[in-house]
Amino acid sequence: FMEPRPPTPSSLPSKLTVNFVLPYAAELSKAEVDMVIVPATTGQMGILPGHVPTIAELKPGLLSVHEGNDVKKYFISSGFAFVHSNSYADILAVEAVPLDRIDPAQVQKGLSEFTQKLNSASTDLDKAEAQIGVDVHSALNSALTG
């Protein structure tokens, strides 16, 4: 359970405090980082200390946490990013997996499979399902290569 946030400081803080939570665990809790890049539905969004308070919905994509020269990458399925006025960022993801745990071969296979399904889909439901599969797999692909 989370402790209350400190009030807004008068000067710009140097670090961004990130809470990265999943429904079953807290991946990062009060981690002090330099920058976070989240895949919002409107595009990649970078959050730095002193960012204006924002609520953003996230689409499946790459989430990277930058700490000095260290970069931690996660692939998230979807979620929300909530930036507060005192450089606190809450990132909620329904499912997140560190990038090094994803198998590129599987991703390629899945992508070709779903593209095929999309081409041969007959009903609207099948088309929608196949489209979702293609979207997720291409996002995975670009996350792995990008």
Partner 1 sequence: MSCSNLTMLVSSKPSLKDSSSPLSFRSFIAPVQIPSSNACNNSISSKPSSSIHCSLRDLRTRIDSVKNTQKITEAMKLVAAAKVRRAQEAVVNARPFSETLVEVLYSINEQLQTEDVDVPLTNVRPVKKVALVVVTGDRGLCGGFNNFILKKAEARIRELKTLGLDYVVISVGKKGNSYFLRRPYIPVDKFLDGSNLPTAKEAQAIADDVFSLFVSEEVDKVELLYTKFVSLVKSDPVIHTLLPLSPKGEICDINGICVDAAEDEFFRLTTKEGKLTVERDVVRAETMDFSPILQFEQDPVQILDALLPLYLNSQILRALQESLASELAARMTAMGNATDNASELKKNLSRVYNRQRQAKITGEILEIVAGADALA
* 84 in contact with partner 1 (CB under 8 A): yes
* 95 in contact with partner 1 (CB under 8 A): yes
From candidates 90, 96, 130, 140, binder to partner 1 by CB under 8 A: 90
Nearer residue to partner 1 within complex by CB, 15 or 80: 80
The distance of closest approach from Cβ of residue 37 to partner 1 in the complex, given in angstroms and rounded to an integer, is 14
Task: Report the 3 state secondary structure along the chain.
Answer: CCCCCCCCCCCCCCCEEEEEEECCEEEEEEEEECEEEEEECCEEEEECCCCCCEEEEECCEEEEEEECCEEEEEEECCEEEEECCCCEEEEEECCEEEHHHCCHHHHHHHHHHHHHHHHHCCCHHHHHHHHHHHHHHHHHHHHHHC
Site for partner 1 in 113-142 (CB under 8 A): none
Lay out the site mask for partner 1 across 12-51 (x = CB under 8 A, - = otherwise): -------x-xxxxxx--x----------xxx--x------
